[in-house]
Structure formats: C-alpha cells, structure tokens
Amino acid sequence: MMKPELETTIEIKEVEWKNQRLRFRNPLVIPVKYDEEMHELIIAEDSAINLFVFAHTKDKLFQEINEQILFMWNKYVKSSGAKFTKDALKLRELLATQLEEV
C-alpha cells in the first residue's frame, strides 16, 4: 500500500557524491513504491540504467541513488571499457548520453 505522503515518482536532475557531481541532460524520473511487507522500505527502480535502491527514509533513498549513479558513472563511463560485455557497453553509452560532469 502506498503511503499517502510519498510521491509515486521522483525526479533527479543532479547527483553528487564524494566531491563529484553529475547533471542529467533531461531529468531522470524514477518510479518509487512503499513496501510495508519489506519493513516499510521505500523502493526506487529504473531498469533502463540498472538502478535498484531501497531505504527506510526518503533522504536515505536519495543518498543511495546518488551513490549508485556515480558508482556506475565511474565504473562504466570513466574507465576504458575494453573488457566490458555487450550489456555493459550499452549501459556505458546510455549513461554517457544522459549525464554530464558539472
């Protein structure tokens, strides 16, 4: 059951973590849900960029989203990509076209 005060989507325009900041060229809209059966977790998932995060609070959820997106940026976009699988290369291209360093 969705908690009334929780939005059904969140919009991400920028992410920041460990002195790095990225901006989405077009805001990323992520569906969120509230799962009481899973100990009242807030869950956000975007299969296009392989993002699945959960937290007990909205603030923690945003922190997890920031960390995951910047982790993927550093792992897939900033590295050479020489040994990446086809799916990893696809994700790399998607992230590189959607994000820019600030």
**The pTM is what?**
0.85
Rounded (5°) CA angle 101-64-54: 140
72-86: per-residue pLDDT in tens?
Answer: 999 999 988 778 999
Tens of pLDDT, residue by residue over 21-78, are 999 999 999 999 887 776 678 999 999 999 999 998 989 999 999 999 999 999 999 9
Domain ranges of the chain: 9-101
**Helices H / strands E in the chain, number of each:** 2, 5
13 near 102, Cβ under 8 Å?
Answer: no
